[in-house]
Amino acid sequence: MTRAAVISGLGGWLPPRVVTNDDLPAELDTSDRWIRTRTGIARRHFAARGSATSDLAVEAGRRALASFGEPNVDAVVLATTTPDRTCPGTAPEVATRLGLEDAAAFDVNAACAGFLYGLACATGLITTGVADRVLLIGAETYSSILDPLDRGTAPIFGDGAGAVVLRAGAPDEPGAIGPIDLGSDGTGAELIRADGGGSRQRLAEGRERDGEHYLTMAGREVFKHAVVRMAASCQTVLERAAVGVADIDRLVAHQANIRIVRQLADELGIERDRVVTNIDRVGNTAAASVPLALLHGVADGTLRPGQRTLLTAFGAGLTWGSTLLTWPDLVLRD
């Protein structure tokens, strides 16, 4: 029988510090009204100084394992654009802190599409028999690369982590990951980037104070790509699964901007009441965005067992990915 990867646990964590739109620095020359109407964001969480992506990932991973009900997995895949450090990867430390001795552990950097790329990695590990259970975490500390005075990014991004446990199962089970579409276009690499500290733009001692490590984003251009790429990717998945858009109960898209999510839904012909969103509470949490939207959707009842659910994400790279599954019945644990 064909082996499938089945979502069987879900958890997430947000750092306690809440930053409302009104809490943002006055120098940004923005307003609560502008941010809400242009992005849908009302607040976001920022990690405390000294707190790193691994700290968020461990909290989310612990909750996903508790939801799964068993403490062990064979592999940890960590999707992040904001690892603790350039080397080594962050996943091995996360695995160890979760008590997962000897588990395979590696990072995936596909920016805001990282969770979809991570799902593909986890599915590959399971369907090829390399692993029977995989913990996939999307975790980000974007506050560490945000220029607090850039109004094109500072009000948009937030910190957080979301995680799922996937296990080997059957393709017709609820939670089984369906066809996956992934893609990239490096001609758009300049549109969202953080250069400083990489091998091309090395950081001289003390230079990080000049803000070279800050994220920059050509927002308007990225916006257009986001809608077009996610819509095409979703169509590919629907075609591969031979599923019509009328059969999609829920759309869970990367929470970059509520206007992007709505335009995407319109483009696909999915009514607004079938869209799961949490951007008002968390902002754009990049690789953590989709699993946190899943978690909040389950918690507030907008995502229920048995619903055929389309997942899609888009981000820097440019990168994008989509998949389809029937939402499983999961137990959430704090």
68 vs 314, beta carbon nearer ligand UT7: 314
Euclidean distance between the first and the last CA atom of the chain, given in angstroms as a whole number: 35
Among 108, 222, 290, 330, which residue sits at the site for ligand UT7 (rule: CB under 6 A)? 222
Q: Choose the catalytic residue: 21, 257, 278, 284.
A: 284
Burial profile 131-148: b = 16 or more Cβ within 10 angstroms, e = fewer: bbbbbbbbbbbbbbbbee
Q: How far is the CB of 318 from ligand UT7 (least distance, A)?
A: 9
Which region, judged by CB under 6 A, interacts with ligand UT7, from 32-40, 66-74, 130-138, 198-206? 32-40
| Binding-residue pattern over the window 51 to 90 for ligand UT7, x denoting contact by CB under 6 A | ----------------------------------------
| Binding-residue pattern over the window 145 to 184 for ligand UT7, x denoting contact by CB under 6 A | ------xx--xx----------------------------
Residues 29, 149: Cα–Cα separation, whole Å: 9
Q: How far is the CB of 79 from ligand UT7 (least distance, A)?
A: 13
Q: Determine if 324 is a binding residue for ligand UT7 (CB under 6 A).
A: no
Q: Determine if 200 is a binding residue for ligand UT7 (CB under 6 A).
A: no
Sheet holding 133-140, edge to edge: 4-13, 160-169, 133-140, 75-79, 104-108
Tokens of 195: 């250069």
Lookup result for tokens 């953080």: 194
Which region, judged by CB under 6 A, interacts with ligand UT7, from 30-38, 46-54, 92-100, 127-135? 30-38
- E strands, the chain, are 4-13, 18-20, 43-45, 75-79, 104-108, 133-140, 160-169, 180-184, 192-193, 216-217, 250-253, 308-315, 319-326
Please tell me whether residue 247 adopts helix, strand or coil conformation. Answer: helix
Tokens of 66: 């508790």
Q: Catalytic annotation on 284?
A: yes
User: For 105, phi and psi rounded to 5 degrees?
Assistant: -155, 125
Q: Catalytic annotation on 234?
A: no
Please tell me whether residue 23 adopts helix, strand or coil conformation. Answer: helix
Alpha-carbon distances of 234 from 75, 122, 196, rounded to whole Å: 28, 20, 34
Among 22, 25, 27, 34, which residue sits at the site for ligand UT7 (rule: CB under 6 A)? 34
Residue 234 Ramachandran class (φ > 0 left, ψ -120 to 50 alpha, else beta): alpha
Q: How far is the CB of 322 from ligand UT7 (least distance, A)?
A: 15
Q: Choose the catalytic residue: 21, 45, 112, 296.
A: 112
Q: Determine if 257 is a binding residue for ligand UT7 (CB under 6 A).
A: yes
Query: Nearest-CA neighbor of 112 among 260, 212, 246, 3?
Result: 260
Which region, judged by CB under 6 A, interacts with ligand UT7, from 45-53, 93-101, 256-264, 296-304? 256-264
Among 65, 105, 112, 237, which residue sits at the site for ligand UT7 (rule: CB under 6 A)? 112
Give the interface with ligand UT7 as residue ranges (CB under 6 A).
Answer: 30, 34, 38-39, 112, 151-152, 155-156, 192, 219-220, 222-223, 226, 256-257, 260, 284, 314-315
Which sequence positions are flagged as catalytic?
Answer: 112, 254, 284
